[in-house]
Structure 1
Amino acid sequence: MTNARLSEHLGMSETPCWRRLKRLEESGVIEGYQANLNRRKLGLGVMAFVQLRCSEHDQAATAEFQRIVQTTPNILSCHNTTGADDFLLIVVARDLDDYSSFVDSTLRRLPGVTSIRSNLSLKEMKASSKLPVAAR
């Protein structure tokens, strides 16, 4: 959105709007901008929620686990969680064969992984990265 359109939408003049936007970027509140892509139109028909349990939690194993997760494009997000499992991943793949191959070639090779449980998404009812920020 252009600054002119944003300032009009917010009901403020362009210069203060631009300054406020720059402050939000510089303070890290706005981390970046992205295009929202349709994964199915890109050939990624499978989305899986993967719960991992690990036996190793030392610094070296954790660092290697993190490195692999952060550099693997099929893993959209990874969260260290409470409960029975240690991590929750969101993973995309072309189809079930591709996902099966991903489990064998990547997830089973992560350091210390002792359990992998996958839940496949049957229907995506909501997908958003918008945060519930109150209007100011």
Structure 2
Amino acid sequence: MTLDTFSQKILRLLQLDARRSVQEISDQVGLSSTPCWRRIKDMEQSGIIQRYTALLDREKLGLHVCALAHIHLTRHTEGGVEQFEREIATCPEVTECYSTTGESDYILKIVAPDIKAYDTFLHERIFKIPAVAQVRTSVVLREIKFDTQLPL
């Protein structure tokens, strides 16, 4: 789907605040409400807009540790990879999972209340996955930039 200037403006506004009304968006974009609403619906149906969500403050929720786990697999067979990915998909502590090139097979972003809880998570969930050979962890000291907006 090719995005014209109006659709790009709509997406920029929704990325800033998805709770805006269609009327507010249409006023700022320069379209009437119905065409604006139709564009939003089309972008939802095409999958450009996947969902609407709330961004939460993990620190205020008691999740003080954020770690990046670099995972190396022993088995790169289809079964081993699929089993790893299925298991990771069930872990609420894992907020992001990327299959990567380079030294690691996967990089996971994991949140936990404290380092002890992180260690427990590693031992009870990650190390029990048969395909996992090694985990190297980088603990986040400070978050410099966190943004969910895509450049349009």
Question: TM-score, with normalisation over the residues of structure 1?
Answer: 0.94
Distance in 1, matches of 2:25 and 2:106, equals 38
Distance in 2, matches of 1:35 and 1:58, equals 37
Query: What is the root-mean-square deviation in Å for CA atoms of aligned residues?
Result: 0.9
Count of aligned pairs between the two proteins: 133
Determine if the alignment matches structure 1 residue 122 to structure 2 residue 141.
yes
Distance in 1, matches of 2:31 and 2:129, equals 51
Distance in 1, matches of 2:97 and 2:57, equals 20
C-alpha displacement of 1:117: 0.4
Give the unaligned 5+ runs of structure 2: 1-19
Determine if the alignment matches structure 1 residue 23 to structure 2 residue 78.
no
SS where residue 34 of structure 2 aligns?
A: helix
Q: Structure 1 segments of 4 or more deviating over 2 A?
A: none
C-alpha displacement of 1:39: 0.5
The structure 1 residue matched to 2:73, chosen from 54, 61, 69, is: 54
Distance in 1, matches of 2:28 and 2:61, equals 32
Corresponding residue for residue 104 of structure 1? 123
Distance in 2, matches of 1:40 and 1:55, equals 34
Corresponding residue for residue 109 of structure 2? 90
Distance in 2, matches of 1:125 and 1:27, equals 33
C-alpha displacement of 1:111: 2.4
Question: TM-score, with normalisation over the residues of structure 2?
Answer: 0.85
Q: Which segment is superposed worse, 28-37 or 52-61?
A: 52-61
- What fraction of aligned residue pairs are identical, expressed as a percent? 36
